[in-house]
Amino acid sequence: MSSKNKNIAVTLVVLGDIGRSPRMQYHALSFAEHNYNVNIIGYGGSKPMQKLLDHPNTQIITMRDVPNISQLPKLCSYIFKTFWQTMTLLMALIFKNRSHIVMVQNPPAIPTLFATWFYCLVFRAKFIIDWHNYAHTIMALSLGRDHRLVRLATWIESYFGRKAIANFCVTRAMQRDLLERWKIKAYVLYDRPPEEFKPISLNVKHDLFMRLSKIYPEFSSDDGGTAFTKVLSEKDVVERVNRPGILVSSTSWTEDEDFGVLLSALCVYEENVENHNLPYLICVITGKGPMKEYYMERIKKLNLKNVQIITPWLESEDYPLMLASADLGVSLHLSSSDLDLPMKVVDMFGCHLPVCAYDFKCLHELVKNGENSFTFSSSNELAGQIINWFSHFPTNETQKRQNEKFKQQLTIFTSFRWQENWDLNVLPVVLQLTK
């Protein structure tokens, strides 16, 4: 940790819920660990990581939410929202200690890129963009590629991307695309799991199940243990022989994740319980988002008898424990640009949890089918993978051997964590900018 960095102020901008922006929280902690003074600006809602809240070098600045103006016409509402966010973001940037470096998350591009660039221009700060995806491809999902707002977002991303003094992105495919399309040179910073995402002991799993059983009866048992574990003595915990399987997924309930694919696969699972000696399956889906209520209504109508779907909102400290306690993960992420990677898979890999991941153009940069996990392209293919994994559970020797093979690869993956990755790829760039 360098003491000279104490005089350098870094601001991270998230035009979204800070607590649901893990990559920017990791950036903030990495800067703070190197003794930079760090502000992170964004919206409240979900609780940020406790380490971020407790760190002496970090401060969270929450912006005022956009007022409810649903009674206005759609275009007027959008213009008002953009104006409101521009002004509140600029005020948050200006009415704090001057920043030397501003790193902004993209997407969203409007009005984030213009507002942060304008601040950097006036106050002579270094303007950095961290590309998680493209704003214009996400907007095109609902508006269509030829919509004028999509064209505006494309121009804004290309123009202000070239204005940035440094750019980081999440894949090599995106790095190539930025260079070929817009002549933007970007450094690749792959997502890597922080130390919290790791395998855990059976005792820690038992403690999590006991806490969850107070809210969700699916985790409880009549003998004082849980549906998955039982206590032999004060310190002795064992897995139940006939325990349910745990399938886990995380979703933002948005249009770039077709949750119906998993629902269809679970219906096929239900139909094959007896033929393949399948266990009762508890499907834990975490996350918040606009389409959650729509899918919850669909789930109610399925009337599944051998599959129970629960949708808890887990605290940031419990989420890694849930992943480490599960038997199989599912990622439904379909990149709007085909150029980003699902962070949920990175988190699952950190816990040595094998994943069934929806396949798309650059997924191979993270998931290697049959080597460290599975990829699928249809609900039937996903159903087959889930059925094969849980057939004769938990005594299937073929599944156990494949699980061991996957975990060997995931152990190699997790030998290089977020902080080491950040120190190797981001810190040298920042040090060069602040000479």
Domain boundaries, the chain: 3-192+418-433, 202-413
3-192+418-433 CATH pick, 1.10.1060.10, 3.40.50.2000, 3.40.50.720, 3.10.290.10? 3.40.50.2000
Q: Provide mean pLDDT across the span 101-129.
A: 96
The mean of the pLDDT values for the chain is 92
Angle between helices 397-413 and 379-390 (to 10 degrees): 110
CA-angle at 287, arms to 215 and 130, nearest 5°: 145
d(CA 331, CA 369): 13
Residue 75: pLDDT above 90? no
> Is the per-residue pLDDT at 339 higher than 90?
yes
- Among 34-38, 75-79, 125-129, the least confident range: 75-79
The more confidently predicted of residues 88 and 290 is 88
Residue 255 predicted with pLDDT over 80: no
Helix (H) or strand (E) holding 118: helix 112-123
Question: Hey, what amino acid is at 375?
Answer: T
Separation CA 435–CA 417 (nearest Å)? 27
pLDDT band of residue 351 (cuts 50, 70, 90) is very high
- pLDDT (0 to 100) of residue 68: 83
Instruction: Decide if pLDDT at 1 tops 80.
Output: no
- Please determine whether the domains at 3-192+418-433 and 202-413 fall in the same fold group of CATH: yes
Secondary structure (3-state) at 245: strand
CATH number of 202-413: 3.40.50.2000
Q: At what angle do helices 379-390 and 260-271 cross, to 10 degrees?
A: 50
DSSP 8-class letter at 219? G
Among 33-42, 201-210, 232-241, the least confident range: 232-241
| Residues 6+ positions from 73 with CB-CB distance below 8 Å | none
pLDDT at 272: 93
* C-beta of residue 375 within 8 angstroms of C-beta of residue 357: yes
For 88-104, write each residue's pLDDT tens digit: 999 999 998 899 999 99
| C-beta of residue 108 within 8 angstroms of C-beta of residue 311 | no
Mean pLDDT along residues 318-333: 95
Band the pLDDT of 4: cuts 50, 70, 90: low
The residue among 390 and 74 whose pLDDT is bigger is 390
Alpha carbon distances (Å) from 333 to 162, 175, 181, 281, 361:
28, 20, 24, 22, 12
* The amino acid at 207: D
pLDDT at 358 over 70: yes
- Average pLDDT estimate for 187-204: 94
- Report pLDDT for 2: 56
- Residue 198 or 294, more confident: 198
**Looking at 167-171, 235-239, 374-378, which range is the least confident one?**
235-239
pLDDT band for position 287 (50/70/90)?
confident
| Segment 222-249 mean pLDDT | 87
207-235 tens-digit pLDDT: 999 999 999 989 988 887 899 998 887 77
Residue 289 has pLDDT above 80, yes or no: no
The share of the chain scoring above pLDDT 70, in percent, equals 99
Name the more confident of 74 and 193. Answer: 193
